[in-house]
Chains A and B, each alone.
Chain A
Amino acid sequence: MPDDRQAPSPSDIQKAHQDWLEQLYAPATAQTPERRSFEVDIGKKIEPLYSPASLEEIGFDHDRDVGFPGQYPFTRGDSPTMYRTEPFVVSAYSGYGEAVECNKRFRKLIGLGVEQILVAFDLPTQCGYDSDDLMSAGEVGKVGVSIDTLADMELLFDGIPLNSVKRVGTLGNAIGPIVAALYAALGEKQGLDYSQYTVNLQNDPLKEYLARGTQIIPAEPAARLAVDPVVWCAEHAPHWSPITVCYNHLNAGGAGSTWGASLALANAIHYLDLLVARGLPIDKVAPLFHMFPDERHDFFVSVANLRALRRTWARLLRERYGAQATASLALKTTVYGHGQETLQEPLNNIVRIGFGTLAYVLGGASYVYIASYDEAVSTPTEETVRVAIRTQQILAQEHGFTDTIDPLGGSYFVETLTKTTAEDMWAQIARIDEIGGALRVIDSGFGREIMNRGAQLRQKRLDSGQRPWVTVNMYPEKPNVPNTAFRMDPSTTERQHARTAEIRRTRDNDRVQRALAAIDKACEQGENQMPAVLEAVRAYATVGEICERWRRAYGTFEPSVAF
């Protein structure tokens, strides 16, 4: 092929690969056509075969692109030993109803071997409303446990010392300082030093404006509130992970896993910039960051995405921030195992979720929790949660999945995907830099547009059957949400209201008012909110009362509407 860019002449293996394509594959598919076109979820075409020629073509370089586990660029793993010393941390994301009820579930989970409890809060809590707020009507205890005050947390962890599991945590994206304070104050109540237990928070408000939608105040101040607990932890609890930058919902919302990663990395950059601007050394704050990748359509893409993410993070931290410490460069990841679950014949979701999770495990995730097979339907029941936990344990212990580090490393296909994905992420971050960073992604509609396009593409491919989905567009069955779905006791809401009313009556209200005034002052003067919020939480101020101060100081959230 003549080319004035002087392409290197094809090597023997490239010639052999090309010959195979032309002489064997092409004639065969001319006779029996491929059964459909093959492409990853929102993205590239998949070739019929990958070989050393594919790696040559993209300029694959083992030392630069992959390296060794625990070493830059950390593609093969964030630590030298990975699952050989300890498999991923088996976790549960759980919560429903009121704290007392939920506490019983937690005890059972721990009995099953769960090592990390991530508390699912209900929507009023996540959005900063008390259970008795008008906005909370119908939502109390629905998708998680209702938490109004520290008293609810005390009940939730009654008889469960925070150091009896490897980690505890929650999402708390719009209420980061409050959830950090709740866990700090709860530890104090249990007589623990912060150093004796580990808290993991998602605390990543920026993605809420693009997907998921629990935002409370505008994005710019919300990001500042999110880094307050990071600064606080750097001083008081440096082994906690107070921020987990997440693209679970970005991907599900239509970004796809590559753009999802890039949008999330841009959010991470925004938080990191804020921290650096506050004068903290990068190697003091970067180790407190985790990320939460997501890919649920394509098994091998998922493995590659995780590997590419670790690599891109390492490069970003080194090249952009000059980070040196291994703990800054080696990214820990939390994942939520999913497949494309259906309402049709939900038992099949066990298989889907199992494979989705296996991909994360083969990609070297650090912390794993997974959906229950009825998750698409309702709050999981005890039985379905048990299956989820056993699935994780089987993946961790059986079949030899975790026997060697990064078992898919070196696969022509996976390495090609990993390298091209990492390159795409890098280019997309540059694109986001051009438009002015994470906040502009939100308010210019740029992020929305990417997600809308992806969501529509997915819908079209499903509707047309181009992406097969068993029981939905292939071997179709009627969707059904069975009545056995988990139901909440209707009196829960009343009991929650009564308990919170009682707390409001019996607490030291002067102390609460002083604490809330201190929050006002912190807002006004742009100080770190943590000390004031921690005092308010200790004094049993409600989540709603604290958030109301923020709403007054910063205004309410902006809905995003672009189509």
Chain B
Amino acid sequence: MAKVGLDGHDVGARVVARGLLEAGMEVIYTGIRRTPEQIARIAMEEDVDVVGISILSGAHLALVPKVRSLLDSSVVMVVGGVIPQEDIPELENVGVSRVFLSGTSVAEIAEYIQSAVSFPEESNGSSDGR
């Protein structure tokens, strides 16, 4: 769960992170004011399945594609925030799987993530959803 750019409004990101925790997921929260490079580095070191970007500043067309281009292609990327209708296809074109507008229920986001991530077969023990 990442905040990209200078936008410091992170209530939404926190509430969603918390909701995903309650849905049994492990969430790595990056804190505010991250560059695309930092987000990509964190995603790589943590070997995450999904990167969620929360952005309210209107800079999504400038920043989100940049993050996407730095991520491994196997990583699912979702974006949440205030995104005008006509920008959504543009984001989807660069590889964002889903855009959630502000006010979407956390349950809906959790459900989507669960459906979008396929967990590899395990030889032993149980997955913890990483």
Contacts and interface: CB of A to CB of B under 8 A. Distances in A.
A479 B32 contact: no
A400 interface: no
A563 B33 contact: no
A479 B101 contact: yes
A456 interface: yes
Interface stretch (B1-9, B45-53, B69-77, B111-119): B1-9
Nearest to A143: B57
Given A483-B86, A485-B84, A376 B102 contact: yes
B6 A136 contact: yes
Contact of A378 (B17, B58, B61): B58
B8 A212 contact: yes
Q: Among A134, A344, A378, A559, which residue has the most Cβ atoms of chain B within 10 A?
A: A559
Q: Among A124, A142, A215, which residue has the most Cβ atoms of chain B within 10 A?
A: A142
A481 B83 contact: yes
A379 interface: yes
A127 B7 CA distance: 10
A143 B11 contact: no
A82 to B, nearest CB: 34
A137 B102 contact: no
A459 interface: yes
Given A252-B11, A459-B19, A479-B104, A377 B57 contact: no
Main secondary structure of the interface of B (DSSP, over half): loop
Contacts of A456: 15, 18
A124 B6 contact: yes
A213 B14 contact: no
A337 to B, nearest CB: 19
A124 B21 CA distance: 32
25 contacts: A135-B33, A137-B5, A137-B62, A137-B63, A139-B6, A139-B59, A143-B58, A211-B9, A252-B11, A253-B11, A344-B103, A376-B82, A378-B58, A378-B84, A455-B11, A462-B105, A463-B105, A463-B107, A472-B103, A479-B103, A481-B82, A481-B84, A482-B85, A559-B32, A563-B17
Given A249-B9, A344-B103, A479-B102, 15 more contacts: A124-B6, A138-B61, A139-B62, A142-B57, A215-B8, A343-B82, A455-B14, A462-B105, A463-B106, A480-B101, A482-B84, A483-B85, A559-B32, A563-B14, A563-B18
Interface of A: 123-124, 126-127, 129, 134-139, 142-143, 208, 211-215, 249, 252-254, 342-344, 376-379, 451-452, 455-456, 459, 462-463, 472, 479-483, 485, 559-561, 563
Interface of B: 5-11, 14-15, 17-19, 21, 29, 31-33, 35, 57-59, 61-63, 66, 82-86, 101-107
